[in-house]
């Protein structure tokens, strides 16, 4: 399956596309970072992100979208922008009719490094190794997005199915 991973952000939003199957070597299809100028109006920044993600979904034609979940731990001001960007990211998948799954940062780190507390350098190193890349993805912001896509592939989209079943059984 082909997954488009998104590490949401307003100034820098990482996007990585990986093709693979659980337990098999994955293949990096492409990656990029969508940027917007902090001096721009928030509405123009969100619009730019929306357009860019729609174009990327259209260009890469993924079967599903995986987005990193945002937490309100620290730096409250910037986290609001990140949360708004994550709303746009989730919407980009939903509007294309694709299943969208979110993962916590620890889930993503654990999936690629085996440890939920791994640092950025470890994640980049493992992404490079797992996909047998000649060099680490640059800019580094994209490595997280690629890791999110890998995380989704390795979990085989199972969690989305389990959660959907759980929701149905509660009705």
Q: Which residues bind its own copies (CB under 8 A)?
A: 39-44, 46-47, 50, 70-73, 76-77, 79-80, 83-88, 90-91, 93-95, 99-100, 102, 163-164, 167, 170-171
The least CB distance from residue 156 to its own copies, in Å, is 18
Catalytic residue list contains 39: no
Q: Is 50 part of the annotated catalytic residue set?
A: no
63 alpha-carbon distance from chain centroid:
14
DSSP 8-75: --SSEEEEEEEE--TTS--EEEEEEEEE--TTS-HHHHHHHHHHHHHHHHHHH--SEEEEE----SS-
Catalytic residue among 40, 58, 63, 68: 68
Nearer to its own copies (CB atom), residue 133 or residue 160 = 160
Tell whether residue 7 is among the known ligand binding residues: yes
**Separation between Cα atoms, residue 92 and residue 9, nearest integer Å:** 14
Q: Give the nearer residue to its own copies in terms of CB position, either 71 or 156.
A: 71
Q: Report in angstroms how near the CB of residue 73 gets to its own copies at its nearest.
A: 8
Q: How many Å apart are CA 60 and CA 30, to the nearest integer?
A: 8
Say how far apart CA 165 and CA 158 lie, in whole Å: 11
CA–CA dist 135, 13 (Å, integer)? 21
Of 100, 82, 103, 117, nearest to 147 (Cα)? 103
Q: Closest CB to its own copies among 8 and 137?
A: 8
Look up 7 and say whether it is catalytic: yes
Q: How far is the CB of 149 from its own copies (least distance, A)?
A: 16
Mind telling me the catalytic residues? 7, 68, 141
Q: Which parts are annotated binding residues?
A: 7, 68, 141
Which residues are known binding-site members for Mg(2+)?
Answer: 7, 68, 141
């Amino acid at each position: 399956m082909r997954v488009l991973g998104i590490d949401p952000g307003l100034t820098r939003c990482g996007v990585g596309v990986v093709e693979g199957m659980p337990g098999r070597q994955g293949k990096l299809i492409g990656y990029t970072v969508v940027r917007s100028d902090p001096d721009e109006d928030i509405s123009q920044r969100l619009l730019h992100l929306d357009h860019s993600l729609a174009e990327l979904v259209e260009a890469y034609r993924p079967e599903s979208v995986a987005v990193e979940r945002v937490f309100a731990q620290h730096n409250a001001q910037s986290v609001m922008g990140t949360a708004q960007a994550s709303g746009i990211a989730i919407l980009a998948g939903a509007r294309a009719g694709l299943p969208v799954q979110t993962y916590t940062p620890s889930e993503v780190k654990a999936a690629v490094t085996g440890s939920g507390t791994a640092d950025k350098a470890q994640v980049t190193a493992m992404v490079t190794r797992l996909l047998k890349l000649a060099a680490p993805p640059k800019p580094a912001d994209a490595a997280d997005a690629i890791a999110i896509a890998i995380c989704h592939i390795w979990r085989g989209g199972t969690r989305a199915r389990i959660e959907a079943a759980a929701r149905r059984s509660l009705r």
